[in-house]
Amino acid sequence: MDEFIEGWTARHGATRDQLLPLLHAVQEEAGYVQDAVVPLIARALNLSRADVHGVVTFYHDFRRTPAGRHVVKLCRAESCQARGGAAIEAAAAQRLGVAMGETRGDGAVSLEPVYCLGLCAVGPNALVDGRPMARIDTAALDRIAAEVAA
């Protein structure tokens, strides 16, 4: 990881404002921002470890533990609720065998809340491994569950 960070800062600079882009890059590379990387990032950008830790923990996007092999982000915001989102949320947890906000024991899937994907006229919506899906119903959940099981 040290090499990766060095290479990245050589290309993009090592100023403080590069912290979020670097954290995104680290997460893209490793899947999560593990605690052991925090001191390396702090050194690379000349920040304190506490400072970097504070930023990592502030933003919902940064993971400190690995995600499941599949990530299902389900919208919980008002527009999706108006279209039956709460029932879909419960059904998704049941079909995928994992509670909202958790990763399943076997590491196959993470079910995460997201507050609005901007597809508000065609909800309930989800991002399944980065792929947007609209009008989620129980049939769509079955397809997602099958994808996860495969």
Partner 1 sequence: MKIYVSRDMASVALGADDVAQAFADAGCEVIRTGSRGLFSIEPLVEVETADGRIGYGPVGPWDVAAVLDGSHPNRLGPVDQLSFFAGQQRFTFARCGVIDPVSLTDYAAKDGWKGLDAARALAPQAVVDAVKASGLRGRGGAGFPTGIKWQTVLDAPGAQKYIVCNADEGDSGTFADRMLMEGDPYCLIEGMAIAAHAVGGTQGYIYIRSEYPFAIYTMRLAIERAAHLIAPFTLEVREGAGAYVCGEETALLDSIEGKRGQVRAKPPLPALKGLFGQPTVINNVLSLAAVPFILAEGAEAYAAVGFGRSRGTMPVQLAGNVRHGGLYEIGFGITLGELVNDIGGGTANGRPVRAVQVGGPLGAYFPPSMFHLPFDYESFAAAGGLIGHAGITVFDDSVDMAHMARFAMEFCAAESCGKCTPCRIGSTRGVEIVDRIMAARPTPPSVMPAKAGISLPEGGAEEKRDPSLRWDDGGLSKALYSRSPARIDTSLDAQTTLLRDLCDTMKYGSLCALGGFTPYPVLSALDYFPEDFGATAPIKEAAE
- Binding site for [2Fe-2S] cluster, by residue number, is 75, 80, 116, 120
In Å, how far are 39, 61, 73 from 56, measured between CA atoms? 12, 9, 20
Exactly one of 2, 13, 31, 59 binds partner 1 (CB under 8 A); that residue is: 59
User: x-or-dash pattern for partner 1, window 106-145, by CB under 8 A?
Assistant: --------xxxxxxxxxx-x-x--x-xxxx----------
Q: If we measure between CA atoms, which residue out of 144, 135, 133, 128 comes closest to residue 92?
A: 144
Amino acid identity of residue 147, one-letter, is E
Query: H helices of the chain, where?
Result: 2-12, 19-30, 38-45, 49-58, 78-81, 85-96, 138-149
Question: Residue 94 Cβ, how far from partner 1 at the closest point, in Å?
Answer: 20
Question: Residue 37 Cβ, how far from partner 1 at the closest point, in Å?
Answer: 16
- What residues line the site for partner 1 (CB under 8 A)? 15-21, 23-24, 45, 54-55, 58-62, 75, 77-83, 114-123, 125, 127, 130, 132-135
